């Protein structure tokens, strides 16, 4: 996964997004690794246009879509869906308009913090919200990382846990 190039393309394309999931955890200090980039994106029309344009050079295609079926990557496609699990030339990128346990993009953005990463300033989901999202998802891989994330939160805010 060339996450640095993907994030730089999104930031340079002025896409409104927040890094969630595994990379958010890593940027908060988690040792757990991930093989994809998960982002929550704004569904504003202008943002959908910027998102489509920013990822287009990397040939996004729905994961698990049979190769003989056509897939058009554009603003209309993004407008007609809320979750996209993509394979790109840079690796797997998952786009979510909402984050279970946190809410819409506006809720996610409000629960994000700025981080210097990948030679850019990016927004990442704060630890409390990341923990809530992982707990809500309830998948084994999400539940396994919770003790580490809770320890990171406690180290960050020992009196507020």
Handedness of CA 76, 78, 79, 80 (dihedral sign): positive
Mind listing the pLDDT tens digit for each residue in 132-142? 999 999 999 99
| CATH code for the structural domain at 3-156 | 3.30.460.40
Neighbours of 53 (CB within 10 A): 16
Note the pTM of the prediction, 2 decimals.
0.94
* Structure confidence by residue, pLDDT tens digits, 53-85: 999 999 999 999 998 999 999 999 999 999 999
């Amino acid at each position: 996964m060339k996450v640095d190039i993907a994030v730089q393309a999104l930031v340079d394309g002025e896409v409104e997004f927040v890094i969630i999931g595994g990379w958010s955890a890593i940027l908060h200090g988690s040792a757990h690794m991930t093989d994809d980039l998960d982002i929550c994106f704004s569904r504003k029309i202008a943002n959908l246009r910027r998102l489509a344009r920013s990822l287009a050079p990397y040939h996004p295609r729905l994961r698990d879509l049979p190769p003989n079926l056509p897939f058009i990557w554009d603003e209309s496609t993004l407008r007609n869906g809320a979750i996209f699990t993509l394979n790109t030339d840079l690796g797997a990128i998952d786009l979510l308009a909402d984050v279970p346990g946190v809410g819409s993009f506006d809720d996610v953005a409000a629960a994000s913090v700025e981080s210097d990463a990948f030679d850019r300033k990016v927004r990442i989901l704060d630890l409390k919200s990341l923990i809530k999202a992982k707990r809500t998802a309830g998948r084994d891989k999400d539940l396994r990382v919770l003790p580490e994330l809770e320890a990171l939160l406690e180290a960050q805010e020992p009196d507020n846990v």
